[in-house]
Structure formats: structure tokens, C-alpha cells
Chains A and B, each alone.
Chain A
Amino acid sequence: MKILIGEDEVHIITLLKFTLEIAGYEVRVAQNGLEVIEQVRLDRPDLILLDVKMPEMNGWQVCEKLKSDEKTKSIPIIIVTAFVQKEAQDRSLELGADDFITKPFDSKALLVCVDRVLQRKKARD
């Protein structure tokens, strides 16, 4: 299973990468919004973890773009953000995100969330 991480903070990238790899996922990284779109086009992932605050294009914009494109709308997206307000969660789900995790996150909770979203996707297909 291939997971694409859209995140600009190097330490968070390291952390996410470590957590996901130890659980057996294959991980790709994009450090800004445009790069996420590009990576999705080049090497279609099974799931995307998106930070909201990113240069070029923020996570919400990326999510909206991918979810409104027929070719990419079925790729599950989990928004991972330090914006803890309820509005941030509402906004994410409105824009079509499949799930939402706030930072700081618990690595086990993150893996449970990733697994749940992938299971749901599998059931849909």
C-alpha cells in the first residue's frame, strides 16, 4: 500500500514516515501543495495524508482539487493538521476529505485511522 504524505515540516515528515513504514506501508513525500498534485499524477498513491498549512497550495485547496477531479476523487484523503478548531474539521470534510486527524497525533490512532479509511475504500470498490 502506497501512502503519499503532503507536509512541509521536515520533522513531521520523518515522524509520519517512520510510523507508517514500521507498520509496513510504502511512503512517498511531497513538501508543498503543487508537488502533491504532481506526485499523484506521476505515481498514484492508495491514500494521501495532507497537512493544511503548506506553501504554494494549502491542503484544503489540494483536497478540493483532487476530489473534484474524476480521475483522482476515489483516492482517500486524510487531513492532518494542527488547526484543532471544529471549523477546520468541518471544512475538511466539506471539501471531501475522508477523515481528519489533529496534531499532535498518537501514532497508534494515526495507524487505526489510515487502516479504517483503506478498509472503507476496499469495501466501496
Chain B
Amino acid sequence: MNSKPHPASNVLIIDDDPAVGKTLAAILNKSGYLVHWVGNGNDALTYLKNGGMINPLTVALIDIRLPDMNGVDVLREIKSLNSDYGAIMMTGDADLETAVRSLNEGAFAYVLKPYHSDEIKSLIEKVLDKQRLLLENRALIERLKEWNIELEKKVQEKTAELQSKNMTLLGVVEKMKVINEMKSRFVANASHELQTPMTSILGFSTMLLDYWDRIDQKEVTKFLQIIRDEAQRLTRLARDLLDLSRIQDGRVDIAKKKIDLKIIAERVRENLHLLRPQVAIEISFEEAAREIISDQDKIQQILTNLIDNALKFSNDDERVQVSGRLQERSVIIDIIDHGVGIPQDKCEKIFESFYRIHDDIGKNVRGAGLGLPIAKALVEALGGVIQVESELGKGSTFTFILPIEVKQIRTPTGDKE
């Protein structure tokens, strides 16, 4: 037989006959096996238990008749230590029953003495081949299992990724829905606000045309005035809508220059005083809070909208106070009125487009509900914040804070989500 032994394969000879043990050991050693010879069953088991043969490619040659134990029992013990160990039984007398028992216990072959060493070597190689196949098979199965686990993990990862993407998409869809709803509501409100003055303009002009001969001069004048007023209201409204949408979309240019807040406030007072001469507007600015670097027109519009709002909700003979002070690198501007005040739960709502507090507090005041949203959007575009504190029946304080030097143009402020 010319089969080459595996370099690291072990052979354990268990035989009390030194003639057998030594000779066989010598022969097998020469063939390249790592051979160990013991004379009885206990020695064999101790040797194995102490880690004598770590290599799974191990073949035990077991004599059936040992001084201390029966070879079949030794076989059973060895198999219980490691079922991978191969075993070949050797015996001097042919006994079919023992042969069958040995094979049942997992022996690979049963050899009758005297034997030829080539026969033994060939059997050993066969056992080793079987063991190698077994090991390879096991390794393959392990790898398959690993692949499976890896695959499963990858599937799970991909699933999780997909799910998270799905969630993100759902979130985006939800957000879009909300934005869409906001836009539709805005358009519905804007259309409503535009239709109202349009109704007057169309109605009164039609009236004048249809009943020209039946309307007296005084009424003609009154109707024409209404038409003019409503046309102006329409113009203001169109301008406000355009402003608001431009600021909210971030399409706003900021003209940076040194400005005087007190002078701007005084100019606004001059413009607004005629609207409500019964309400005094008081202006006081700390010297240090007067000059900032910002956008003059935008601040004028903010002040106009806030002071106009304060005037609307003030009663005759009350006053509106506008004051400015410096705090670190910001100016804080307060617009204080002593009018009707805002219910606590409406303090956020008043900055929403088209919200009109008088629909809730019953005070009928002009305006479409765009002044405060525009003021808020402008303050934010200039890098500031705005808030309101109010007490019903006592009045409101609108406070906006601006940096003393405006940074570059900010991107969309948008409506609140």
C-alpha cells in the first residue's frame, strides 16, 4: 500500500504484547505517524484524558484482550471521550460475537492476528480518510451555518434600513401633507380676504350704474368713497400677501447699514398718529440702543405693524409706549399697550396668518390678520426673535430682540410646523 499518511495523524497502540506494540509502533513511526504505545486500557484512557492526542485525526489500535479491561470496553470509553477517534480492533482468536459488538460500538474494522503491517496501514489510512471527510463535512456545515447567519443578518439589516427609509418617507409625506394643508388654508383665507373688498367694489359700482337716477348725490359720494377705500384695502392686502410669501420663502434682501432706531420709531409715529389721534405714542430709547446695523425699511415695517396693532387694541386716551434698551450684543424693543389684552391661549395664534383676535374677543377691528405674521417673519429674517406677554383687560407687551449687527441673509423662516 502506498497511501501516504497524514503528517499529523496519531496512532495509539493499546496492546499488552510488547512484540506487537513495539514492532507495530516502529513500523508506523517509520511511515510518518505519531505513534504512542500503551500496554493496558487504563493507561490508554489516562493518556487520552491528559490530552495525549489533541489531533482529531487519531486512530486507536485496540487489542481485545487486555490485562485490565476488555478491549470493547476500552473502545466504548475512548468513543465517549471523543466520538471522532477512529478505532481498529485486533484479536488473536476469531470470535464473531465480539467482532459484531466492536463494530456496534463504533470500531472501523476488526483485524485477526497475525496481521500484515501493510494491512494495518491501509486500514489506518481508510479510517483517517473517513475522519478527514467527516471533519471537512463538519467544517462545510459550519461555514454554511455562518453564511446563513450572515445572510440573515444582512437581510435584517437591509430590512431595517428599508423600514427606516420608509419611516423617513412617511415622515416626509406627513410633513408635506401638513405644509400642503397650510398652503391650501392660506390660499383659501387669502382668497376670502380678497373677495370681501372685491364684493364692495363690484357691488357699489354696479349699484351706481343700475340705479344712477334713483340714488341721491350724498349716497353717490358715499358709494364712491367706499369703492376707493376698498380698492386701497385690496392693494394693501395684495402687497401684504406678496411680502409675507416672499419673506417666508426666504426671498428677501437685507440692506445692511447703520440706522437710528429712535428716528425710525418717530417716523412711524408720525405716519400712524393720524389713524388714532386719541391714543398717544411715547418713544424712549437708551442712547446706546439707538444705533444698530440692520435693514432700515424692514425695521420700519416691523415697528409700523406692531405699533398699528397696539393702536387698534387701545382705547381712547390710552397710550402706547415704545422703548429700546441694549443688552450685550442685542437691542430689546418693547411696544406696550394698555388695551384689551390677549387671552393666554391665543398668544401664539396671533402670529398665524389671517388669525384675527377680534373673531375670538368680539372687538371689531380692521385688518386681514397679516400684520403680526409679517412682523414676526421680518424680525426672524433680521436674526431676531419676537414674543408677546399679555393680560386680559390690562394690555399687551410685544418684545422683539435684534442683534446690533445683522448677519447675512437668512434662509426661509417659514410657518411654524
Partner of B191, one of A11, A18, A31, A84: A84
Q: B408 CB to closest chain A CB, in angstroms?
A: 40
Contacts A8-B364, A55-B358, A107-B210; A82 near B203 (Cβ below 8 A):
no
Beyond A85-B188, A104-B198, 5 additional contacts (C-beta under 8 Å) are A11-B204, A12-B203, A14-B226, A56-B362, A82-B191
Query: Contacting B214 at CB < 8 Å: which of A14, A15, A22, A31?
Result: A22
Query: B48 CB to closest chain A CB, in angstroms?
Result: 89
Q: Encode B174-204 as 1/0 by CB contact (under 8 A) with A.
A: 0000000000000010011101101111111
Given A55-B362, A82-B191, A85-B188, A15–B196 Cβ distance below 8 Å? no
Tally of A-B Cβ pairs under 8 angstroms? 65
Residues of B within 8 A of A85 (CB): 188
Q: Is the CB of A82 within 8 A of B195?
A: yes
Cα–Cα, bound, A81→B195 (Å): 9
Contacts A22-B214, A32-B362, A83-B192; A12 near B206 (Cβ below 8 A): no
- Least CB distance from A17 to B in Å reads 11
Assess whether B200 is in contact with A53, with CB atoms less than 8 Å apart.
Answer: no
The 10 closest A-B pairs by CB, nearest first: A82-B195, A104-B199, A103-B199, A15-B203, A11-B200, A104-B202, A82-B192, A103-B195, A104-B198, A55-B362
CA distance in complex: A105, B362 (Å): 26
Q: Is the CB of A31 within 8 A of B364?
A: yes
Return 24 A-B CB contacts under 8 Å, by A number.
Answer: A9-B196, A11-B226, A11-B230, A12-B199, A12-B203, A15-B203, A15-B204, A15-B207, A19-B207, A31-B364, A32-B362, A54-B359, A55-B358, A81-B192, A82-B196, A83-B191, A83-B192, A84-B195, A102-B195, A103-B198, A104-B195, A104-B201, A104-B202, A105-B203
- When C-beta atoms are compared, the residue in chain A nearest to B357 turns out to be A55
Q: Smallest distance from the beta carbon of B339 to chain A beta carbons, Å?
A: 17
- Complex CA gap A55/B195 in Å reads 18
Q: How far is the CA of A14 from the CA of B214 in the complex (A)?
A: 16
User: How does the 8 Å CB contact mask read for A66-101 relative to B, with 1 for contact and 0 for none?
Assistant: 000000000000000111110000000000000000
Q: Is A43 an interface residue (CB 8 A)?
A: no
Shortest Cβ distance from B262 into chain A, in angstroms? 37
We find that the number of chain B residues with CB closer than 8 angstroms to chain A is 26
Would you call the interface of chain A mostly helix, strand, loop, or mixed?
A: loop
Minimum C-beta distance from B191 to chain A (A): 6
Q: Is A107 a contact partner of B188 (Cβ separation < 8 A)?
A: no
Instruction: Give A53 to B358 CA distance when docked, in angstroms.
Output: 11
For A18, the closest partner residue in chain B by CB is B207
Tell me if A125 is interfacial: C-beta within 8 Å of chain B. Answer: no
Say whether chain B's binding surface is mostly helix, strand, loop, or mixed. Answer: helix
Q: Would you give the shortest CB distance from A9 to chain B, in whole angstroms? A: 6
**Chain B residues whose C-beta falls within 8 Å of the C-beta of A105 in the assembled complex:** 199, 203
Interface, chain A (partner B; CB < 8 A)? 8-9, 11-12, 14-15, 18-19, 22, 31-32, 53-56, 81-85, 102-107
In-complex Cβ contact of B211 among A22, A54, A56, A106 (8 A): A22
Q: How far is the CA of A8 from the CA of B196 in the complex (A)?
A: 11
Chain A residue contacts of B364, Cβ below 8 A: 8, 31, 55
Expressed in whole angstroms, the minimum distance between the Cβ of B393 and any Cβ of chain A is: 18
Question: Does B196 lie within 8 Å of A12, measured CB to CB?
Answer: yes
Instruction: List B contacts of A53 (CB < 8 A).
Output: 192, 359
Complex Cα gap A32–B203 (Å): 22
Closest chain-B Cβ to A21's Cβ sits at a distance in Å of: 11
Contacts of B200 in A (CB 8 A): 9, 11-12, 15
Shortest distance from the beta carbon of B51 to any chain A beta carbon, whole Å: 86
Q: Are B358 and A107 in contact (CB under 8 A)?
A: no
Chain A residues, Cβ within 8 Å of B195 = 82, 84, 102-104
Mark contacts of B350-369 with chain A using CB atoms, 8 A cut-off: 1 yes-contact digit, 0 otherwise: 00000000111010100000
Q: Tell which of A81, A102, A107 touches B206, judged by Cβ atoms closer than 8 Å.
A: A107
Neighbouring B residues of A14 by C-beta, 8 Å: 226
Closest to B233 in A: A11
- Chain B hits for A83, CB < 8 A: 188, 191-192
- Shortest distance between the CB of B327 and any CB in chain A (Å): 39
Q: How far is the CA of A37 from the CA of B360 in the complex (A)?
A: 18
A11 to B231, CA, bound (A): 12
